[in-house]
Amino acid sequence: MDLGIEGRVALVTGGSRGIGLGIARALAAEGARVAVAARTRESVEQAAAGLRGRGYVFDAEDLGAVGPLVDSVERDLGPVELYVANTGGPPPGDPLAFAVEQWEAAHRSLVISPMLLAQRLLPGMRDRGFGRVVAVSSSAAREPLAHLQLTNANRPGLLAALKLLARQAAGDGVTINAILPGRIATEHLVEAYDDLEDAQRAARDDVPAGRLGAVEEIAAVAAFLCSAPASYVTGTSVLVDGGLTRSW
């Protein structure tokens, strides 16, 4: 299938590793010109070099960095047409043990930062008659997880905000969707287990598919949602969790 995004400018935040890097690679393989944004210069430069793209240092908790990021990408590559809102998840822990500073940091990175980016990018997408926004969320937005309280509380808020924007932008050729990953084999997942092998053993017992998901499986869904053929898919969330989530 021709995804119709060759030459399109894509911005992928949190794109230096894990799911974000996988999505950046998938978009680059389809011919998109990918801007990868992440916190550390070394990691973002390595990621961008492997994609033949451009790397930008960006911390989602720094709300003042949103404007300069967009300005830099559009100066170097052109108007952003594909925006993948990917942010590393907050730390796991006791649901009642997080400090106020941790709650505030999670809200800045998971809700406010992607909304500020949407404020900057959506008007141009609508004026040009084409745009794709894909938020990488979590299955916890559908069913709360015991050890991910900061995720449970914040990711549903972003989805509600994006749902409204999706309805407003649908008539202008702009789609806005979300992906809800389950247990995916990434470094972040290991934080909740002893190691990756331990996570795999748990997945064999807990996940109907009997295994962890692969980054490439998330990236394939993201690439489709960014595509021209996906023009009638908007305002929805796609679970990619091997059947783990019990609700429909």
CATH number of the domain to which 166 belongs: 3.40.50.720
Give the global pTM: 0.96
Q: How far apart are CA 23 and CA 223, in angstroms?
A: 7
- Residue 22 parent element (H or E): helix 18-29
**pLDDT for residue 166:** 98
Domain annotation covers residue 161: yes
Give the Å distances, CA to CA, from 78 to 8, 56, 71, 75, 151: 9, 14, 9, 6, 33
> Given a cut of 80, is residue 45 above it in pLDDT?
yes
Q: What are residue 34's phi and psi, to 5 degrees?
A: -105, 125
Please state the φ and ψ torsions of residue 167, each to the nearest 5 degrees: -65, -40
How is residue 82 written in tokens? 């594909």
Q: Which domain holds residue 61?
A: 9-239
pLDDT reported for residue 102: 97
Buried b (16+ CB within 10 A) or exposed e, 58-89: bbbbeeebbeebbebbbeebebbbbbbbbbbb
> Which of 35-39, 51-55, 201-205 has the largest mean confidence?
35-39
Q: Is residue 244 domain-resident?
A: no
Q: Is residue 248 part of a domain?
A: no
Whether 79 is covered by a domain: the verdict is yes
Q: Write the Ramachandran bin of 52: left for phi over 0, alpha for psi from -120 to 50, otherwise beta.
A: left
The CA distance from 186 to 194, in Å, is 13
The per-residue pLDDT for range 166-193, each reduced to its tens digit, is 999 999 999 999 999 999 998 877 777 7
- Yes or no: say if 12 and 134 are a contact pair by the CB < 8 Å rule: no
Residue 245 included in any domain: no
Judged against a pLDDT cut of 90, whether residue 89 lies above it is answered with no
Q: Say if 102 falls within a structural domain.
A: yes
The structural domain count of the chain equals 1
For residue 1, tell me if it sits in a domain.
no
Q: What is the pLDDT of residue 149?
A: 96
Nearest CA to 198 out of 183, 208, 209 is that of: 183
- Residue 129 included in any domain: yes
Torsion of CA 100, 185, 244, 238, to 10 degrees: 80
> Nearest to residue 84, comparing CAs of 140, 15, 158, 5?
15
32 C-beta neighbours (distance < 10 Å), count: 24
Residue 193, SS3 per DSSP: coil
